[in-house]
């Protein structure tokens, strides 16, 4: 009788361990899929916005490219958010439009970490972070991918001394509290941030 009880207990213990391992594997697979989906959305946003800005720079110059950033970029992120069911935004530590780009504490920490990783020699294209976090509204998946400062963006985000007078005037007019200048090519300009409720 005791032997059956010991075997039953051992079988239950083994089964519980297998279920726990299976659950961890499933959770890791779910996280991997969420990261893949978030990465695809981030790359899509960066590619579309870069394409629109570059096209406008070549066609009309930096003043019109600023209009693309101001109006088209939020439209692109909103469209991708609706398509994916995730909240997708662009954030930064030094923002141009505080209403749309202010990083929350989790994003701020990730952006600061990106700068440290970049300083240690990691390539900017690999800078990303993801995590499942508990927030007041519940558990959420968080993901960020660094936005690299590229040459086309220097027309409006580079050193103030190198900006044209027309660009400076438009920045003062449209973004009186702008802090998104004095970047160098290769720096972290900000990040695409993805958030999904679980």
Task: Report yes or no on 31 lying in a domain.
Answer: no
Q: What letter does residue 198 receive in the DSSP assignment? A: -
CB 141 within 8 A of CB 34: yes
Domain count within the chain? 1
CA dist 24 and 21 (Å) reads: 5
Supply the pLDDT for residue 18: 47
Predicted model pTM? 0.83
Is residue 76, in this structure, part of any structural domain at all?
yes
User: What confidence tens digit (pLDDT) does each residue in 127-183 have?
Assistant: 999 999 999 989 999 999 999 999 888 999 999 999 999 999 999 998 989 999 999
Residue 164 lies in a domain: yes
Domain-located, residue 113: yes
| 99 confidence band (pLDDT: 50, 70, 90) | confident
Q: Which residue has the tokens 């579309």?
A: 48
Q: Do the domain assignments include residue 27?
A: no
Asked if residue 7 belongs to a domain, the reply is no
Asked if 46 contacts 147 with a C-beta cutoff of 8 angstroms, the reply is yes
Other beta carbons within 10 Å of 148: 19
pLDDT bucket at 65, cuts 50 / 70 / 90 = confident
Give residue-wise pLDDT tens across range 15-57.
555 455 555 555 677 889 999 999 999 999 999 999 999 999 8
Segments forming the whole domain that contains residue 142? 37-197
Cα–Cα distance list, 22 to 16, 58, 120, 139 (Å): 10, 54, 37, 21
Residue 32 maps to a domain: no
Assigned token pair, 92: 């930064």
Total number of residues shown for the chain? 198
Residue 45 lies in a domain: yes
């Amino acid at each position: 009788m005791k032997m059956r009880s010991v075997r039953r207990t051992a079988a239950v213990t083994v089964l519980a361990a297998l279920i726990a391992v299976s659950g961890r594997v499933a959770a890791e697979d779910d996280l991997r899929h969420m990261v893949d989906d978030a990465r695809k959305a981030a790359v899509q946003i960066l590619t579309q916005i870069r394409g629109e800005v570059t096209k406008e720079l070549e066609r009309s110059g930096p003043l019109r490219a600023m209009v693309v950033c101001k109006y088209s970029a939020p439209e692109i992120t909103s469209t991708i958010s609706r398509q994916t069911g995730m909240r997708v935004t662009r954030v930064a530590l030094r923002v141009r439009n505080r209403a749309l780009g202010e990083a929350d504490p989790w994003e701020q920490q990730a952006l600061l970490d990106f700068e440290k990783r970049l300083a240690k020699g990691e390539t900017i294209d690999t800078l990303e972070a993801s995590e499942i976090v508990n927030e007041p509204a519940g558990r959420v998946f968080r993901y960020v991918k660094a936005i690299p400062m590229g040459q086309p963006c220097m027309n409006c985000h580079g050193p103030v001394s190198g900006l044209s007078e027309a660009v400076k005037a438009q920045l003062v007019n449209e973004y009186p509290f702008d802090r998104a200048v004095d970047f160098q090519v290769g720096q972290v300009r900000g990040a695409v941030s993805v958030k999904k409720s679980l």
